[in-house]
Structure 1
Amino acid sequence: MNFVKKSARVKQLEGCWKIRSHDVFLHLKSRPVGTACVHGDGASFETRDSSGQDDNPLPGHLKPLGSHRPSEGSIDVVDGFIEPEDFYEQYVRASRPIIFKGAASAIPAFESWTDEYLRDTYGTYKVDVEVGKKENRSQELLHLTLKDFLAVYDSRELYMVQDILPEMMGELILPRPLQCGGFQNILELGVIWFSSGGTKSVLHADGVDNINCLFDGHKSLIMIDKDQQDKVEAHGYEHQRAFSRVDIDSVDLMEFAEFQGVPWWSAEMEKGDCLFIPIGWYHTVESGLSRNLAVNLWFSHLLWFNHTDCEERTEKFDSLANYDIAGQKGSVEKIRSDAFSPFVDLSSITLTDMMDAWIDYADEDDIQNVFDDIDLDEDGEVSWEEVMTADILSLVLHYPRVLLDAPEEEIRQLQEEIQDEDDYVIIEDDEEFEYDHDEL
């Protein structure tokens, strides 16, 4: 039997409860007549109208992500790649995603990477394969030859997620927007994504920028601006690996209540398209139900664009084999990008700026020493050119607390991994720098 407290307003409640020993009182001011109960364990919430039927007042509850409100629209789309300077100013610096329509069609691998060609050319190489097409961060990887994967992938729930083999680099290009200005020096990791379609990723964000090029199939994305961090990460967010535990197929808006107000953008990729996903943007990716092959390239967030660097670069299609990619361990550029990101809106950096940004976790004398080491012309200001040419790993060895806001154990591990000036690497298990093989 249900009891409802009377209200001065017609069909409005001041409060309601349900006669059960494990129910507790819930105060409501603007709900339809009926009962609402929070169970004693605090884990569930239900509403019922006077007839006893479920009354769900939340649009999108237990429906796929994006059902809670209409999309804000589609992200920007342009034909082909744009120039590096425009890319930096309009999209990287502004934190805006964009689709480069048809840009992948100029990549040699776009035409050549048929199953037959991949089997004949790279079939003996071992690749990493996930079991299941809906992403599960706890699953283990299979290690198959590419030939064995190709023999079964269209009939089994398998998803190849493999770092680009060095032997494949010559068939890929560095996207035109990344060929100068400093982008070409901050390449982190390249990954191949290959399945028979029907894959789904968790909702996640990357700690670096990303360009993904689709060679075959279709991908649909839901994208959420990084400025929604307080809502997306309010509940059920795994900060160590930067993903939400929300079920993208059935969003529980009682548990993930903050998602009710989250705006989102849609992105549709077709064969031949390339997509830029800015650092920190949350996204989930669903592939179409046919052969799906894509290559993505992660790169550190560029804090300053070197305009003079582009004057000597005129190649539209430059082989990826001509560039260094840091790989799974990451690179010094990630440290540089993270450490100096507080100053990105400044034309130059003063000692006061550094003190304000770092004094909460670094020693004042160490900050002074870092400033002095970087300020090569001793003009009392650090230019972005000085920042981008500074020996960051030397600074990490001498003043780790300035550039790394991390536990002592992690800093010691990092310092141990710095082998010599020709092989700067970072720890493989560091939560800040290891790259998860999230889709996109």
Structure 2
Amino acid sequence: MQSSKGIRATIPLRNLRSAAPHKETQSNMFLVLLLLVAEFSNGEKHPLFEKDHAMDTVFPPVIWKHPELPAGHLRSLGYQRHADGPVKVASRLPSPVEFYAEYVLRLKPLVLRDAIDKSSPMMDRWTDEYLKRHFGQHKVTVTHKKEIIKGQVEVMTLERFLDRYKFQDLYMASLIPAEMEAGFTVPHVAQCGPVSRHITEAEMWMSSGGTGSLLHYHSEHQLHCMADGRKDFILIEHKYKDNLKCVEQPPGSGNGASTIDVDMVNMFDSPDVEKTPWRYTTLLPGDCLFIPAGHLHQVRSYGRSLSYTFLFRPVEDKNLGDCRALSKAVRGLDQFDLVWTIKDGYSQLKNEKLDADSLRSVLLSWVGKDGGLTFPVFQRNYEKAVAKAAGDSRSIGAKRAFQQLLQSEKKQVLTKDALMKLPAKTLDKLALFLNSIHKTVRDEL
């Protein structure tokens, strides 16, 4: 009689599925299964394969219409109608004066090719290993979903993110730590005039493989610049926002997003998408895109994508006098006064020594497009500024702080004129509290 070992050896490979597995084989299969489960369930371990880094996607998409269905039904945004053309590309880099007068003031999007100097640190040497070695200890904000606005946000060190993002569904969308600002080059068109004086915040974006955003808009202008990878943009004028089921949050802020699923547009629920004109562009390393305030945009990223944006306020300021003597030197974000930064994983006001005048300037950056500061907008920004002091018994709540600024319980909106006339004593009191937050947290650490 043949041994069981001999019998197993004679079973053809194609019949292995029907053969009863040996106990040793069952045990090995069980161990492999356990290892696979551990790999995928443990947040600190990697799946077996990196995400797809391909960057050869066709964009704008080739549209094919089904004879019995609306164009682009249950397909991603862009398949519902042909684009009206590309976003204008500058034939040469404009001067700061030309950029501000012809594009910023006129709310015209513009693509700037090779706007970032190749010697910029983020272009020249910011590999993952370099970032881990020099900035890995800094905490950044990361989302666990492809949706970069609604996704669940987590705070982690940059090193931890870099160890995981090529394998897991992570996307970094974070304010830039002050220690990294020098590495992000500000394009020459934005180094003087109102743009340079009214930058509110800068964010860095990093992902691996395909990721995408909601269709959304901001109350501020922005420049989006690429250091690595590829990004495709869909841009739509603000006047079409009602076609796209946009919701402004908080009300009066000038910031909002469409509730339409941009990855699978239901054309029976959203037929007006087909009536909405749109333009497109693709950014590669060194390119920047100017997106005017209110312009709707949807972004898709490919490959190892590293980029940054900085937001600047639409203002009445037209003083461009400092542009006359502007040099061609490469300048980083660290040379500009930003309103917001991130430290220890918390968003905070960058100025830790506020006085009446500097706090007034911060509050002006929160004023809406209608010229007033409402409580919902104040509350969102104020709670962001005092997040470090959450739970502190000495903390001044948003409602109380807003009433102190209004100087009346009957008023609902702090107008720009009223803000400019606020006495220094009122502002100094709030500034003193905001400054104390940083000292208290450092003492506790």
Superposition map of 1:143-162 within 5 A: 143-162=155-174
Q: Distance in 1 between matches of 2:429 and 2:67?
A: 60
Q: Distance in 2 between matches of 1:418 and 1:193?
A: 36
CA contact (8 A) 1:60 1:253 kept: yes
**Residue segments in structure 2 that go unaligned for 5+ positions in a row:** 1-65, 341-346, 350-361, 375-401, 417-425, 436-445
Q: Could you say which residue in structure 2 is the equivalent of 1:116?
A: 129
Whichever residue aligns with residue 318 of structure 1, its letter is: R
Q: Deviations over 1:226-283 (max 9, x none)?
A: 1213322xx3635436111111122112212222210000111112211111110111
Q: Deviations over 1:140-164 (max 9, x none)?
A: 2222221121112111111111211
Of residues 261, 280, 287, the one that matches 1:247 is 261
Q: Could you say which residue in structure 2 is the equivalent of 1:282?
A: 296
Quote the offset at 1:422 in angstroms. 12
Q: Could you say which residue in structure 2 is the equivalent of 1:324?
A: 337
Q: Could you say which residue in structure 1 is the equivalent of 2:216?
A: 204
Quote the offset at 1:416 in angstroms. 8.6
CA contact (8 A) 2:207 2:301 kept: no
Q: Could you say which residue in structure 1 is the equivalent of 2:176?
A: 164
Q: Distance in 2 between matches of 1:194 and 1:140?
A: 16
**Is residue 2:121 matched to residue 1:90?**
no
Which SS does the other structure have where 2:369 is aligned? Answer: helix
Whichever residue aligns with residue 110 of structure 1, its letter is: M
Cα 1:258–1:323, aligned 2, differ >3 Å: closer, same or farther? same
**Residue segments in structure 1 that go unaligned for 5+ positions in a row:** 1-53, 342-357, 362-392, 406-414, 425-440
**Is residue 2:298 matched to residue 1:267?**
no
Q: Could you say which residue in structure 2 is the equivalent of 1:420?
A: 431
Q: Distance in 1 between matches of 2:182 and 2:101?
A: 29
Q: Distance in 1 between matches of 2:273 and 2:237?
A: 13
Cα 1:83–1:158, aligned 2, differ >3 Å: closer, same or farther? same
Which SS does the other structure have where 1:77 is aligned? Answer: coil
**Is residue 2:247 matched to residue 1:237?**
yes
Of residues 196, 213, 216, the one that matches 1:184 is 196
Q: Please report the TM-score for the alignment, with normalisation by the length of structure 2.
A: 0.62
Q: Deviations over 1:293-323 (max 9, x none)?
A: 0011111113332132323433442232121
**Is residue 2:143 matched to residue 1:141?**
no
The alignment-based identity, stated in percent, is: 28
Cα 1:65–1:98, aligned 2, differ >3 Å: closer, same or farther? same
Superposition map of 1:387-402 within 5 A: 397=406
Whichever residue aligns with residue 296 of structure 1, its letter is: T
Quote the offset at 1:60 in angstroms. 2.2
Q: Could you say which residue in structure 1 is the equivalent of 2:74?
A: 62
Q: Deviations over 1:382-408 (max 9, x none)?
A: xxxxxxxxxxx9x96569767549xxx
Cα 1:103–1:154, aligned 2, differ >3 Å: closer, same or farther? same
Cα 1:224–1:326, aligned 2, differ >3 Å: closer, same or farther? same
Q: Please report the TM-score for the alignment, with normalisation by the length of structure 1.
A: 0.63
Q: Distance in 1 between matches of 2:321 and 2:288?
A: 26
Quote the offset at 1:55 in angstroms. 6.9
Q: Distance in 1 between matches of 2:152 and 2:239?
A: 33
Q: Distance in 2 between matches of 1:131 and 1:87?
A: 37
Quote the offset at 1:420 in angstroms. 3.2
Q: Deviations over 1:41-81 (max 9, x none)?
A: xxxxxxxxxxxxx9745222222212221101001112664
Which SS does the other structure have where 2:231 is aligned? Answer: strand
Whichever residue aligns with residue 87 of structure 2, its letter is: I
Cα 1:274–1:333, aligned 2, differ >3 Å: closer, same or farther? farther
Which SS does the other structure have where 1:91 is aligned? Answer: helix
Which SS does the other structure have where 2:90 is aligned? Answer: strand
Q: Distance in 2 between matches of 1:397 and 1:134?
A: 37
Cα 1:66–1:145, aligned 2, differ >3 Å: closer, same or farther? same
Q: Could you say which residue in structure 1 is the equivalent of 2:271?
A: 257
Of residues 362, 365, 379, the one that matches 1:334 is 365
Superposition map of 1:378-393 within 5 A: none
CA contact (8 A) 1:189 1:326 kept: yes
Whichever residue aligns with residue 109 of structure 1, its letter is: M
The total of aligned residue pairs comes to 309
**Is residue 2:85 matched to residue 1:73?**
yes
Of residues 232, 239, 244, the one that matches 1:227 is 239
Cα 1:156–1:109, aligned 2, differ >3 Å: closer, same or farther? same
Q: Could you say which residue in structure 2 is the equivalent of 1:126?
A: 139
Which SS does the other structure have where 1:143 is aligned? Answer: strand
Q: Distance in 2 between matches of 1:80 and 1:172?
A: 22
Cα 1:397–1:239, aligned 2, differ >3 Å: closer, same or farther? closer
CA contact (8 A) 1:82 1:177 kept: yes
Q: Could you say which residue in structure 2 is the equivalent of 1:294?
A: 307
More helix by share: 2
Q: Could you say which residue in structure 1 is the equivalent of 2:316?
A: 303
Q: Distance in 2 between matches of 1:135 and 1:402?
A: 31
Quote the offset at 1:187 in angstroms. 0.8
Q: Deviations over 1:406-433 (max 9, x none)?
A: xxxxxxxxx8997239979xxxxxxxxx
